[in-house]
Structure 1
Amino acid sequence: MSKRGSSATKTQAVFDRLHSDITSGRLTAGERLSPEDLKARLGVSVSVIREALTQLVAQGLVQVEHNRGFHVKNLSIRDVVDLMYARKINECAALRLAVERHDLAWESEVLAAHHVMAGLSMYAPNDPAHRNDKWARAHTAFHQKLFEGCRNDTLIDICRKLSESAELYRGWTTQDAPDSEAEVAANHKQLLDAVLARDADLTVELHTAHLQRTIDIMLARAGEADDADVAGEVGTTITD
């Protein structure tokens, strides 16, 4: 393998490791990400670390500030409400189209994606306070497969990017909450059943509730007065 290829492989490995640690909550919101510290911990060059961090910045999981350097993105109720509203507009449109254009090939793929997700534990067996990375990937694949049924490449790409932006919040709201696993599984099964029944209205209603749940959990956990004030300003529902 060429040097360039080797560097790219190392960058991808570091990116995957940090992405997992951030979205699972093992690295917490606002936590500083020192390239030198990460170099020592991960055993790669600073340039590889910086490239991986830059990619995480592009995905919205990491922020970089003058005199502070890289750090995990801070959580904000304003941001999550805005993001969930954008997801409601685009993802519900994609789901409605998908159900209306329903075909057996897509139905089979949706069923298979749900089967994979349902067969995995939501929490890591050796780390029950944090999400299981395999489940998180299967969860993303299930929802992406649902959106793909709309057969509109532009809308599918928008939904994919919005989902990536929401990954940090998904990880944070499921962190250290094992009692939620049965509820999450039941919600996904209800969504699947609505899709298979070709009920577009119910599918959109259930997905909207799925998005609202993230906002509700953040409000329940919010401890900063500023975020509470912001929640009051922007509204806490995405169903209007």
Structure 2
Amino acid sequence: MKDNKSSNGVYWLVLGVVGALIVMLALFFSALLNNYEVLDKGKLLDYTSGFVYKIRFFDSYTVFIEPEHRLEGDVFNSFLMIGIAFISLTYAFLIAQIKRDGVRERSFFMYITLFFGMIFLAADEFFGIHESIGHNMQFLTSLPLVKRPDDFIILSYLIPVVAFLYFFRRELMSNRGTLKAMGGVVGFFLLASVSDLLTLPVEEAAELGASICLVIAILLLGSTHVQQAVRLPVSSN
């Protein structure tokens, strides 16, 4: 009994440390992305033909960077979303492999749905899909309270999100920690929305916070579902 309690303590300690490191890393990148100035850019170095940026961070540190993409929070956030997608795919695979009676197929399909949903959101974040759609549907600005057409496109995303939450509500409520983390997702999402409307400088940080909370929620929820599946009677098939 003591060994089990000790193992659980180590387990939660490791999860806590990993979670803290993820939060610290995200905050670090968020701080970098909001405190830099591009001093020069182009073919600045004689020994390379690459496009190089000369950047000063926090008005103190000057470095040369040769990125494949512009240094933006959207890029890092899209990477987080891709990570969430493949975490979901991993849990779907594990649940499918545990051949036990009573394993709900709904859990499997929930993670598959999450995988494709997060892949789409990552692509949207990286390539600006909703902005591009909005630019070609400018008639939407004639609707009440719609100033930018892409705002209406983002609002329409709530339809599949609400449908997902309703259909998989029992699966999502199987872990209290998940509910708290999902509350963080909603809170950061609302903060990002308000920041976008009022042009406040915390929109990107809020989006990162929402993604981090979603990572935590999926890890806790997937762990619960796998544990439940393992404890069920072995299938006779």
Same fold by TM (over 0.5)? no
The structure having more radius of gyration, on CA atoms, is 2
TM-score, scaled relative to structure 2: 0.29
User: Relative contact order (alpha carbons < 8 A, sep ≥ 6): 1 or 2 greater?
Assistant: 1
TM-score, scaled relative to structure 1: 0.29
